[in-house]
Structure 1
Amino acid sequence: MKKIVLMTVLVFAFAIHASAQKYALVDMEYILKNIPSYEMANEQLNQVSQRWQKEVEEKAKQAEQLYKDYQSNMVFLTEDMKTKKEEEILAKEKEVNELRRNYFGPEGELFKKRESLMKPIQDDIYNAVKKISEEKGYMMILDRASSSSIIFASPRIDISNEVLAKLGYSK
């Protein structure tokens, strides 16, 4: 019985303490859409990605053409020539996979480019959110765009426009 009473008192104490804290929300999608440098960086990434994708596709077509040529001429080739052609095809396919990994892999060029273009923007947003949090005494600021668990939140606690204003993009 003492444990139940103690647990009840603790739950109420935590509930009272939690309600005294100030919370706010930001909408990162909204903020990013209203920052022109983010849109330009996104466009630049899309162009680079498309160019690299074209390059990879061209190499893949070359490998496919080598394989088709090999299949159509296979009856005319000696065993040594077959082996040489097979090695050539495998080398070309390996080159395609290596190029794809270098451009689009987890540590590839696209990842590095995205990081170099987006990190300064993200850092600026983070610093603006941090300053607002310190000025207004918020204990926690949540991103409503990335949190699918937020079903409803009062627009009064959304500080997205304040973040934009702090960054110099007033709405």
Structure 2
Amino acid sequence: MKVTKIVLGVAVAAAFFTACNQEQKPKAGATTAATTSNDSTVAAGEKIVYVNSDSLLANYGYFKDVRTRLEGKSKKAEADLRSKAEAFQQEVGRYQQTGQGMTNEQRASTEQRLAQKQQQLQALNQSTSSALANEESEEMKKIYDNVETYLKKLSEEKGYKMVLTYSRGNSAILYGDNSLDITHEVLAALNEQYKTEKADTTKAKKK
């Protein structure tokens, strides 16, 4: 008997699509030369860019904190359920050893009590798994909202018509020029935003 482990990442793999509602024309003399992904400065005339979701998930501070916290909760819940299940199995084993010496009434009462305990353990397993899954879903929605909000703002500022997501081995993008990769820029902004929010939360707790 064990609680379902929380695995993060799949839900976010398709979370990085957005389009802006305004179209900006490139400024006169603007360059269209390609740049490297380390720079992530997209030429002014480009309207479609992409984000590497693998890199984003691996380096986004908020996601890493959420993953660590939920994995810790999952391990703690699993250990608690395992301990309760082992205690129950020991109780069943004692009954199997001593049951023959009981009266019919005593056996019926003991078996009823053990059946109730088993049902309680199963219910606890299901409720714990459900609670962890719901918390994961809520956190993934927050991550999606954070990314989507920033990408909408960035698209409006730079005139991007679409932001695609790229994930190695699981993407509709077979090739993308490095000049279209804005992962570094997005990641830096999101981490800076999360750093500020985290600092504000810490200060608020100290008051």
For the superposition of Structure 1 and Structure 2, which TM-score range results when normalised by the shorter chain?
0.7 to 0.9
**Displacement after TM superposition at 1:168 (Å):** 5.0
Show the counterpart of 1:94.
Answer: 119
Show the counterpart of 1:159.
Answer: 182
Show the counterpart of 1:128.
Answer: 150
Where in structure 1 are there 5+ consecutive unaligned residues? Answer: 1-20
Letter in 1 for 2:182: I
Find the aligned partners of 1:69 and 1:151 in 2 and give their Cα distance: 62
Q: 1:14-69: per-residue Cα shift (whole Å, max 9, x none)? A: xxxxxxx9432212231132222322222111111111111111111122112211
Q: Which of structures 1 and 2 has the larger relative contact order (alpha carbons within 8 angstroms, sep 6+)?
A: 2
Q: Which moved more, 1:48-57 or 1:24-33?
A: 24-33
- Normalising by structure 2, what TM-score? 0.61
Structure 1 ranges of 4+ moved more than 6 A: none
Q: Which has the higher helix share?
A: 1
Distance 1:93 1:117, change over 3 A: same
Find the aligned partners of 1:128 and 1:33 in 2 and give their Cα distance: 18
Letter in 2 for 1:77: M
- Which of 36, 46, 53 aligns to 2:71? It is 46
Find the aligned partners of 1:27 and 1:39 in 2 and give their Cα distance: 16
Letter in 1 for 2:117: K
Letter in 2 for 1:111: A
Distance 1:67 1:40, change over 3 A: same
Letter in 2 for 1:153: G
- Which of 82, 93, 96 aligns to 1:71? It is 96
Output the aligned Cα RMSD: 2.5
